[in-house]
Amino acid sequence: MSEARPISLRERQKEDRRARITAAARRLFVEAGLEKITIEAIAEIAGVSSVTVYNYYGTKSGVLLALVAESDRELLGTLARDLIGKPQEVVDLVLRFFEIICRHALDHLDKAVWRQVISASVSGTEPRFGKSYHELDNRLANVLIREVERLKAIGKVPATSDATHLGWALFNLQNARFVEFIASDDVHPNQILRHLRNDLEALMPRPAPRD
């Protein structure tokens, strides 16, 4: 059995610089917003040269995307631990998925930063950002698709349903509610969770019990 390759000093230094850059960027995005900060400001707080930031991330949007990618990697791990294989109904699946995403979003980035992320993903001014952001969405949607396939296999989803189409429809529904949640600092996750439950129960009413 081969042993893991030890991490070199150069690699450790590189990872340390990346961590300092993303930490500095997170602070500045919260304080000033994407449009008002500069690569130079990020570099100054991180204690690196602006050239280093450019070399690692290219643009401010690139740094922002790195924050999102870092958050999503952790989110996928949380979903694997706390969601996959557990819900036994579609409604419960989507509600638990949404609850985990909202909790994770607030634990790792605040609403102000998420608003900048969403804006950057749809503005079209940074095509690379939009493409990469949607690739991250694909990974999250695939979690729902695989769970729908599991529920279909145990008879909790009609055999005629297309798991991919249903998974994406459910993902887009909860994503619309996520945007609503992020849009206002005054909205609590439980409020949106109630709205999402109402959405799901209206679209997929449970059969009435037989007499």
Do 176 and 196 have their domain in common? yes
Q: Encode 4-19: b = buried (16+ Cβ within 10 Å), e = exposed.
A: eeeeeeeeeeeeebbe
What is the span of the domain harbouring residue 130?
64-203
Q: Measure the CA dihedral 136/94/190/86, to 10°.
A: -100
Q: What percent of the chain has pLDDT over 90?
A: 53
Domain containing residue 51: CATH number: 1.10.10.60
Residue 80 corresponds to which amino acid? A
| pLDDT score, position 5 | 62
Do 48 and 68 have their domain in common? no
Among the three residues 58, 74, 95, which one is the final residue of a domain in this structure?
58
Query: Can you tell me whether residue 188 is helix, strand or coil?
Result: coil
| pLDDT score, position 77 | 93
Which whole-number Å values give the CA distances from 209 to 67, 88, 197, 205, 206, in the listed order?
A: 48, 18, 20, 12, 9
For helices 90-108 and 189-203, angle between their N-to-C axes, nearest 10 degrees: 160
Do 103 and 19 have their domain in common? no
| pLDDT score, position 149 | 97
pLDDT band at 205 (very low <50, low <70, confident <90, very high): low
| pLDDT score, position 120 | 82
Do 46 and 69 have their domain in common? no
Reported pTM = 0.84
Q: Return the number of other C-beta atoms located less than 10 Å from residue 104's C-beta.
A: 19
The number of folded domains in the chain is 2
